[in-house]
Amino acid sequence: MNGVTRRWLLAGVVCALCGVPAVAAAGFAARSDASRPLEADGLQPVIEVWKADRRMELRSGEEVVREFRIVLGTEPRLSKNRRGDGRTPVGHYYISDKNDNSRFRRFLGISYPNLDDAERAYGERLIDAGQWADIFFANLRHGIPPWQTPLGGRVGIHGFGGRPLVPIDWTEGCIAVSDDDIDFLYDRVGVGTPVIINQ
Judge contact between 100 and 168, C-beta under 8 A: no
* 56 contacts 48 by C-beta, under 8 angstroms: yes
Residues 129-151 have a mean pLDDT of 96
How far is Cα 127 from Cα 150, in angstroms, rounded to an integer?
7
3-state secondary structure of 51: coil
User: DSSP character for 167?
Assistant: S
pLDDT of residue 21: 35
Question: What pLDDT does 169 receive?
Answer: 96
Q: Is the dihedral of CA 183, 184, 190, 191 positive or negative?
A: negative
pLDDT at 13 over 50: no
pLDDT at residue number 93: 98
> What's the whole-number average pLDDT of the chain?
84
**What is residue 37's predicted lDDT score, i.e. its pLDDT?**
59
Spatial distance between the Cα atoms of 188 and 51, rounded to a whole number of angstroms = 22
Cα 20–Cα 112–Cα 39 angle in degrees, nearest 5 = 65
Determine the pLDDT at residue 38: 64
Set out the domains of the chain in order of their start, with CATH numbers.
39-112+152-198 (2.40.440.10)
C-alpha to C-alpha distance for 67 and 107, rounded to whole angstroms: 18
CA angle 154, 160, 162 (to 5 degrees): 135
Q: What percent of the chain has pLDDT over 90?
A: 71
Residue type, 158: H
Range list of H helices, 28-153:
115-123, 129-140
